[in-house]
Structure 1
Amino acid sequence: MKQTLLTILLLLPLWVNAQLQENFSDGNFTQNPTWAGDESSFIVNSQNQLQSNGPAVTGTILHLSTPSQAVVGTTWEFWANLKLATSSTNYTDVYLTSDKEDLKSADINGYFVRIGNTADEVSLYRKDAGKTAVMIINGQDGTIGTSNNIARVRVTRSINHEWELRIDVSGTGQNFVSQGTATDATHKRSAYFGVVVRYTSANSKNFYFDDFSITDAQPPVLDELQTITTQELILRFNEPLQPAQATTTANYTLNGSIKPIIAELTEAGTVRLVFSQNFSIGTNAVSIANLQDLYGNVLANPIERNFNFVPPPVLPGYNELLITEIMADENPVVGLPAQEYIELYNATADKVLMLQGIRYSDATSTTTFPNVQLLPGEYAVVVPNTQVANFSQYGRVIGISNFPSLNNTGELLQLRQPNGRLIVAVNYSDTWYKNTSKRDGGWSLEMIDVTNPCAGIANWAASVNPRGGTPAQANSVAASNPDNTPPAIADATAIAPDRVLLRFTERLDSTQAASIANYSINPGIPISSIQVQGPLFTEVILILGAPLHERQLYTLIAKSIPDCSGNLSSQPLSITFALPSAPVFGDVVINEILFNPRPNGVDFVELVNRSNKYINLKDWKLANTSGDTISNIRSITAANYVLAPGQYVVLTSNPDNIKSNYPAAREQTFLRMASLPSYPDAAGTVVVLQPNTQLADRFSYTDKMHFALLDDKNGVSLERIRLEGTTTADNFHSAATTVFATPGYRNSQSQEGVRAQQVFKIEPKVFSPDADGFDDFTTINYNTDKTGYVANITIFDAQGREVRKLVRNELLSAEGFFRWDGLRQDGTKANIGTYILYIELFGLNGEKGEFKERVVVGGRF
């Protein structure tokens, strides 16, 4: 561009002199202006006329030319005297415009007046490079049919390219006669004006010229306006411009107030304008003021020109085409046609998006969009072809074949370019409605803030439009809802000895998330590569350069990883993880069960990892029994979910319900299941299965396991007493009535294991069976020297009266415990006082032992 402007500036002296007035009164043609060509074959004679003076050779062609860029809104005038009889070999051509200095060249583009030729006329011609000249005004024949032909010629060309040729054969300029008019706009630029003479040998000195005049009294006219890019205009004027005014940015205004940052004269009459912002889609207005042509003609009034701008359509990039509304469950109808649909939105400010070939898919099927375009900010609803007419009243409708059926409860929807590159992905769920009644059907899901496309549930809600949705229109829930929160790590799971899966709380900038330099693991484990998991970009897999070790806790540090909206945590993100170990029976056990919830409540099952391993619950199952058969198997989770040693997990279909009924519950321990197997109030069996269907734990319960003195068992869970004990009825007790259940934290009836140093040990020796969660029962702990003993335990009061036969002929393991809840044989509560536990122990070989232990039943007075 600099070189072009330099060339124009170098030509400026020529432009200043381009309005020609030449009568040769200075006696030469070498200056003011300067003529070039066959200079040695012309002279200025004593009458101060330009005269041919070439060699006396038949067929000679001579020329002289001088710079002139006048081309439109111009009057050319000159005097000529041909002292010869004109013919096909004796005539002159006066070039009004030419793009070449050498007027004898065959490659000229321009216009000329021919005096002479076989018809002895004065006519106007157009010359196209490499072609024979074309007559555009045929002058009257015989006007110069003598041997001394004088003619004053005047040619005008209007700003609308209307030509008129006039001649005065008296030469005085007082008697012009029109030879005709024509309209021709073929050539709009000129560089030279000049004369060409052709003669036979006798006429070498018989061509005389004088009074050359080129006058332009019209200001420049804008011929053409062209958009080159979204911020660039080309203005083409009908004639050359003065560079100083043409390159002044203040002389141009876009849409009332916007000035260009560049105003460049790329050639004599062409201006390139560059703006710092994009043109508006649709109508734009440009105003041009203060320009002048090379002859000082200034625009009397600003030129006002409107132009329509529609950029060429392009395929949408990532998040440039959005899914902003989803009607997944159309029944029962609220007000819209009974049809599933999605809504598209062009989220760009200045791009026309081309949809042809874009692939739209759900979890099971894919279709492609037809040849349609979306303007910036435009909405369109997508429906089957058969439904287009039913939705046309709402706005732009796009009909497609093989419309993917939308799942009522949710699924992953994607739009991809024809080459497979991701445009947008939405993993909607019926929880996004945030309204129980509306998710039953007839209402659409709407995006709240279309400038925050990466957000999930936080940026979607059920439509509030009375029709049930707003297809092809701005959403009824539209509001500002920016994402100002940086991402966090939700969890980290070692899915293999050399692979760690990170799950983030929101979508990431996938480029930054793929940088190895942004991660580290302590104790030091090298990271060899990163895989950012599409299409949602919330998960990252770290490929390790060395294997992890089981039962080793690692710390992962992540830094400089922004979310999709650019939010970045000010501090590095940190999380611990470990490599899961293979489980065996009894590693993860049933710790608590609520099978008889309050009215409108739901069941839950709590598991606990009582091993020293990290155990992944992915693909574990929860079941019940039908007779002796395990049945009603339900998946606990298909995702990675690692239980650390001592960690609880609460399995339920409705975490919100559990939290509302038990406010102290630990929400972070909840794991939602689609549904639990049936666990009847009277009795049932809870079965936990490992991924290979091996039994992890099993518990058969009845409602009679509850503390008999409870006024209301509904809403009270059964809790495990000892973590290391067996999963049997003796090891479970009703939760304390102060909490009713302890989902996600230590059981209210939990008791540390007591190892008896002697054969039997009572703990605690004083207890109060009042269901307050504090020493509600006592345990008779035993430790024998071998297995195979059988025990009887009978409870007597202080007067020696039998109160309860607690154990009868019970086969003992090497160690364990029995529990007394303070109830008599008839189910009534024992009185406050001292009681004797009479224990009989029988061996397989006839051994017998007797033991007496004291215990106190306490209570409130």
Structure 2
Amino acid sequence: MLLRLLYLLGLVLLTLPATAQLAENFADGDFSQNPAWVGDAAAFQVNAQQQLQSNGPAITGSQIQLATPQQAATGTTWEFWANLRLATSSGNLADVWLMSEQADLKATANRGYFVRLGGTPDEVALFRKDAGASPVYVINGQDGTIGSTTNNLVRVRVTRSPANVWTLERDLTGGRTFASEGTATDATYQRSQYLGVLLTYSAANNRNFYFDDFRVTDATPPQLVSATAVSATQVDAQFNEPVAASVAANSFRLGNGVVATAAQPDAADASLVHLTFVSSLPLGQSTLEVRNVADQFGNTAVGPLTATFRFSGALVTPGVNQLLITEIMADETPQVGLPASEYLEIHNPSATNQLDLGGVRLLKPGSSSAAVFPAGAVLLPGEYAVVCANTRTAQFTGYGKVFGLTNFPSLTNTGDQLLLRGRDGRTLFEVRYADTWYRDNRKKEGGWALELIDLGNPCGGAENWQASLDASGGTPGRANSVQAANPDRTPPQLLAAVALTATRLRLTFAEKLDSTLASNPALYRLQPSGAVQSAAAVPFDFRTVELTLSAPLTPNQPYTVQVQRATDCVGNAAGPVTSATIALPVPAAVGDVVINELLFNPRSGGYDFVELLNRSANYLSLQGWRIARELPDGSLDAHNISSEPLVLAPGQLVVLSERPEIVQAQYPNSHEATAFLPPVSLPSLPDDAGVVAVLDAQNRTIDRLAYTEAMHLPLLDTRDGVSLERIRASGPSTAANFHSAASSTGYATPGRRNSQYQAEPGGDKQFTLEPEVFTPDDDGQQDFTTLSYRLDAPGYVASVTVYDALGRLTRRLVRNETLATTGFFRWDGLTDANRKAAMGYYVLHIELFQPNSGTRREYKKTVVLGARL
């Protein structure tokens, strides 16, 4: 009887707050109360040995769980006993969750830490689980420790120090003679809601999991992490764990003896305490002293705990570029070292002004909602802070000041536009990033932040950002690892001008402008005639200016728009005049715009491209046009070329590609960057054969090219990365008018004149052979000879045969082909067997037949096939 009383007394002592926050040995034979475990209750039982035993459905692949409320997180020890009477594997294992955000341990979005027993390595290991991600090791235990096929007995102890150092220990006899599995530091999650077990098993093992002696102890008092002045009479005290719901105001005082008049834990984050003082804070540096503050488990920090902070006086509302985004973590996986979570870093570049962020909005253009900084949010002079989703705040508390915001925007990995806007709606800061800004193909795959290089050049784009150099992947809450002088001394360049309507023009510059100066209509002039009535810099990035004219433009007439003095946002001014040509476009006719070059079989890691040519004499609008692939069933897979105004001048080329920067990198010496449009989604182009079409805004087919890989020069070692080029601009979109790009230009010329370009022949002869000496070596110079014809009427039928100097048949070039009045045939120097013909003289025998009249004519042309020595 005495032993029984002592045992019960022990149970009572285990439940005292300062000793243990959870003690469960199932001695009451029930897991539904004291404490209450919830989940798959029907799949568990308390057996006669007063142990929690699995009793789930005998179905392979089952997962069952139980969880109980448990909030201890730091300065905590977890202990439990388990016996897995089975052979562990990837389909037979137990996850004991020490810290879980949700009661549903199976939830994909759940986060926290758990100990895995078994698995493929048959180990005892500590894992961290991030939302939507697979678990990752915190401590990788020794393989084979859970190696029995019938009896895997183990007691596990896990400790987490206030400094976030984890220790994993186990005793394979079930006793308390623990052996270490290792230590590691991980501060990702600072909050917990539940503890529980999640079991995965095959049908034969549904009753073979046993647990007992769960014990969670937090005997460590809270620690003061930081103090921040948020107004003249308010200070925020940040602790490393939630504090008791009731804290005494007199536990907090300043170094000068002034005691707080109110202390209130934050409703969403109980580790943050808002303090109020009756008098204004002293200017400069102060010390906050804390005494006798307890955590939620009764552990009291007697103190004094201290933290210093600065108060710089009255708060200032930030102006343009007075609040900066200095770091962007858009792609958090694979994890390198930082928490696996998207975040931004903001910075106050002022040395004196304390910024009032209350009401400042973070958003993406076009978004229906914004993330709003709360009242009282302050950024001190020179201070950095992390901005993240309000559900991710705990992951970044170890990095300094954190603002966890509701509606934090999702950051697109490949690129996005972000705005900070003031309470009055003004744009304070704008950045439009892209994954090319990393300047490192490995780092852009994830886990690394983009960092601003020169804080004094806030308007800089790609040239002022790069991937972090810090080994952890970024520097949230502190100065950037890439920080260096990188000033902008270049005046803004006018890139393009386009007519939106007959009276509205849009000018696009290479960088952000001073929006006030750019909105002065006196800076703009139109030649040969026309007056600018008004000008407006377009938000949000202020790289464009829209002009309203006092009189409409004449269609298809080129004008010159002049800018007297453009000034960028850091004060660099252009010279006295910069200019661009502009025209009001006219409707296109079929065949006005043609496919001029096509890459459908790119190199490894490369991308397709389509080059278009305006071969008309008119200015044409491509807005609303589409590039399409004709599918075998006749339907079209069509993709937009440009939803924005885009005018193509006579003779102008444009290149369409999903990744323009990669195409340019693979053809560094033979591309024209200014001809590339922003990334365009292309239809999938098969490597063997396909049909590409260009559709206008009315869905008319303007051009159509049926291509095959057989159109390439057969002598090529490989066709990968070799484009097909149009030979004559005015010629038809047929195989005869395309040839493989020359090797001397790198096998493609995106945005430049084709290496195989051939001008229309002059004169009025019926047949013209040019050149008369050719060298088919794919170097872009006389790679083939062209037989051009100009006939007196349509309807002739032609056959063209090539013979060598001894009269032997070499190539049947054309057989009974009906001709238009003008056109051409080409011979690439190959025989009918697709072998290169020998050097020497050859005769092209031409036979013409007019079916209507029965007229027959014969012609001969001589050509020399040579070689470069």
TMscore range, shorter length: 0.5 to 0.7
From 574, 580, 593, the equivalent of 2:579 is 574
Measure the CA separation in 1 of the matches of 2:826 and 2:315: 79
2:845–2:861 CA contact under 8 A, matched in 1:
no
Q: 1:767 maps to which residue?
A: 774
Q: 1:851 maps to which residue?
A: 858
Q: Once the 2 structures are TM-superposed, how far is the Cα of residue 528 of structure 1 from its aligned partner?
A: 0.4
Q: 2:363 maps to which residue?
A: 361
In the superposition, the TM-score normalised over structure 1's length comes to 0.61
Give SS of 1:496's match. Answer: coil
Q: Once the 2 structures are TM-superposed, how far is the Cα of residue 591 of structure 1 from its aligned partner?
A: 1.3
Q: 2:488 maps to which residue?
A: 483
Q: 1:742 maps to which residue?
A: 749
Q: 1:468 maps to which residue?
A: 473
Q: 1:431 maps to which residue?
A: 436
Kindly report the root-mean-square deviation, in angstroms, between the aligned alpha carbons of the 2 structures.
Answer: 2.6
Q: Does residue 613 of the first structure (1) align with residue 618 of the second (2)?
A: yes
Q: 1:328 maps to which residue?
A: 330
Q: Does residue 556 of the first structure (1) align with residue 565 of the second (2)?
A: no
What do the CA deviations read for 1:338-392 (whole angstroms, capped 9, x no partner)?
2222222223333322222222212423132111222222222222333333322
From 386, 394, 398, the equivalent of 1:393 is 398
Q: 2:829 maps to which residue?
A: 822
2:829–2:865 CA contact under 8 A, matched in 1:
no
1:637–1:673 CA contact under 8 A, matched in 2:
no
1:719–1:735 CA contact under 8 A, matched in 2:
yes
Q: Once the 2 structures are TM-superposed, how far is the Cα of residue 556 of structure 1 from its aligned partner?
A: 2.0
1:520–1:558 CA contact under 8 A, matched in 2:
yes
2:656–2:680 CA contact under 8 A, matched in 1:
no
- Which residues in structure 2 correspond to 1:59-70 (within 5 Å)? none
Relative distance call for 1:531 and 1:644 in structure 2 (3 A) is same
Relative distance call for 1:419 and 1:794 in structure 2 (3 A) is same
Q: Once the 2 structures are TM-superposed, how far is the Cα of residue 758 of structure 1 from its aligned partner?
A: 4.3
2:849–2:857 CA contact under 8 A, matched in 1:
no
Q: 2:702 maps to which residue?
A: 696
Q: Once the 2 structures are TM-superposed, how far is the Cα of residue 508 of structure 1 from its aligned partner?
A: 1.0
Residue type of the alignment partner of 1:413: L
Q: 1:724 maps to which residue?
A: 730
- Which residues in structure 2 correspond to 1:43-62 (within 5 Å)? none
Q: 2:374 maps to which residue?
A: 370
Q: 1:686 maps to which residue?
A: 692
Q: Once the 2 structures are TM-superposed, how far is the Cα of residue 309 of structure 1 from its aligned partner?
A: 6.8
Give SS of 1:471's match. Answer: coil
Q: 1:836 maps to which residue?
A: 843
Moved more, 649-658 or 724-733: 649-658
Moved more, 755-764 or 337-346: 755-764
Q: Does residue 449 of the first structure (1) align with residue 443 of the second (2)?
A: no
Q: 2:240 maps to which residue?
A: none
What do the CA deviations read for 1:432-458 (whole angstroms, capped 9, x no partner)?
222222222222222222222121222
1:797–1:834 CA contact under 8 A, matched in 2:
yes
Give SS of 1:389's match. Answer: helix
Q: Once the 2 structures are TM-superposed, how far is the Cα of residue 755 of structure 1 from its aligned partner?
A: 5.6
Q: 1:669 maps to which residue?
A: 675
Q: Once the 2 structures are TM-superposed, how far is the Cα of residue 610 of structure 1 from its aligned partner?
A: 0.8
2:347–2:382 CA contact under 8 A, matched in 1:
yes
Residue type of the alignment partner of 1:821: D
Q: Once the 2 structures are TM-superposed, how far is the Cα of residue 631 of structure 1 from its aligned partner?
A: 3.6
1:834–1:854 CA contact under 8 A, matched in 2:
no
Q: 1:381 maps to which residue?
A: 386
1:766–1:857 CA contact under 8 A, matched in 2:
yes
Q: Once the 2 structures are TM-superposed, how far is the Cα of residue 611 of structure 1 from its aligned partner?
A: 0.8
From 702, 707, 711, the equivalent of 2:713 is 707
Q: 1:263 maps to which residue?
A: none
Q: 1:215 maps to which residue?
A: none
Residue type of the alignment partner of 2:371: T
Q: Once the 2 structures are TM-superposed, how far is the Cα of residue 839 of structure 1 from its aligned partner?
A: 2.7
2:660–2:679 CA contact under 8 A, matched in 1:
no
What do the CA deviations read for 1:403-461 (whole angstroms, capped 9, x no partner)?
22222222222222233222222222222222222222222222222222121222222
What do the CA deviations read for 1:645-685 (whole angstroms, capped 9, x no partner)?
11222333344443444313222223342543332332222
Q: 1:208 maps to which residue?
A: none
Measure the CA separation in 1 of the matches of 2:656 and 2:623: 13
Measure the CA separation in 2 of the matches of 1:773 and 1:310: 70
Q: Does residue 787 of the first structure (1) align with residue 794 of the second (2)?
A: yes
Relative distance call for 1:851 and 1:377 in structure 2 (3 A) is same
In the superposition, the TM-score normalised over structure 2's length comes to 0.61
1:597–1:603 CA contact under 8 A, matched in 2:
yes
Measure the CA separation in 2 of the matches of 1:820 and 1:280: 90
Measure the CA separation in 1 of the matches of 2:446 and 2:721: 32
What do the CA deviations read for 1:306-336 (whole angstroms, capped 9, x no partner)?
xx97433232222222222222222222222
What do the CA deviations read for 1:49-98 (whole angstroms, capped 9, x no partner)?
xxxxxxxxxxxxxxxxxxxxxxxxxxxxxxxxxxxxxxxxxxxxxxxxxx
Give SS of 2:316's match. Answer: coil
Measure the CA separation in 2 of the matches of 1:387 and 1:803: 75
Which has the higher Rg, Structure 1 or Structure 2? 1
- Which residues in structure 2 correspond to 1:647-658 (within 5 Å)? 647-658=652-663
Q: Percent identity?
A: 49
2:840–2:866 CA contact under 8 A, matched in 1:
no
Relative distance call for 1:800 and 1:433 in structure 2 (3 A) is closer
Measure the CA separation in 1 of the matches of 2:691 and 2:396: 53
Q: Once the 2 structures are TM-superposed, how far is the Cα of residue 568 of structure 1 from its aligned partner?
A: 1.4
- Which residues in structure 2 correspond to 1:91-490 (within 5 Å)? 282=284, 310-363=312-365, 364=367, 365-371=369-375, 372-490=377-495
Q: Once the 2 structures are TM-superposed, how far is the Cα of residue 633 of structure 1 from its aligned partner?
A: 2.6
Measure the CA separation in 1 of the matches of 2:605 and 2:395: 42
Residue type of the alignment partner of 1:690: D
Relative distance call for 1:406 and 1:659 in structure 2 (3 A) is closer
Measure the CA separation in 1 of the matches of 2:633 and 2:521: 53
Q: Once the 2 structures are TM-superposed, how far is the Cα of residue 512 of structure 1 from its aligned partner?
A: 0.8
What do the CA deviations read for 1:271-295 (whole angstroms, capped 9, x no partner)?
xxxxxxxx996269xxxxxxxxxxx
2:802–2:813 CA contact under 8 A, matched in 1:
yes
Q: Once the 2 structures are TM-superposed, how far is the Cα of residue 629 of structure 1 from its aligned partner?
A: 2.7
Residue type of the alignment partner of 1:705: M
Measure the CA separation in 2 of the matches of 1:281 and 1:451: 27
Measure the CA separation in 1 of the matches of 2:476 and 2:666: 40
What do the CA deviations read for 1:811-841 (whole angstroms, capped 9, x no partner)?
2112212222232222233334443333333
Residue type of the alignment partner of 2:498: T
Measure the CA separation in 1 of the matches of 2:593 and 2:337: 52
Give SS of 1:646's match. Answer: coil
Relative distance call for 1:729 and 1:514 in structure 2 (3 A) is same
Relative distance call for 1:359 and 1:773 in structure 2 (3 A) is closer
2:845–2:859 CA contact under 8 A, matched in 1:
yes
Give SS of 2:395's match. Answer: helix
Moved more, 630-639 or 342-351: 630-639
Measure the CA separation in 1 of the matches of 2:522 and 2:648: 29
Give SS of 1:738's match. Answer: helix
Measure the CA separation in 2 of the matches of 1:661 and 1:456: 23
Q: 1:137 maps to which residue?
A: none
Q: Does residue 504 of the first structure (1) align with residue 509 of the second (2)?
A: yes
Residue type of the alignment partner of 1:749: Q
Relative distance call for 1:764 and 1:558 in structure 2 (3 A) is same
Measure the CA separation in 2 of the matches of 1:823 and 1:472: 67
Q: Does residue 513 of the first structure (1) align with residue 518 of the second (2)?
A: yes
1:630–1:687 CA contact under 8 A, matched in 2:
no
Moved more, 437-446 or 536-545: 437-446
Residue type of the alignment partner of 1:695: T
Give SS of 2:677's match. Answer: strand
Residue type of the alignment partner of 1:810: E
Measure the CA separation in 2 of the matches of 1:758 and 1:666: 37
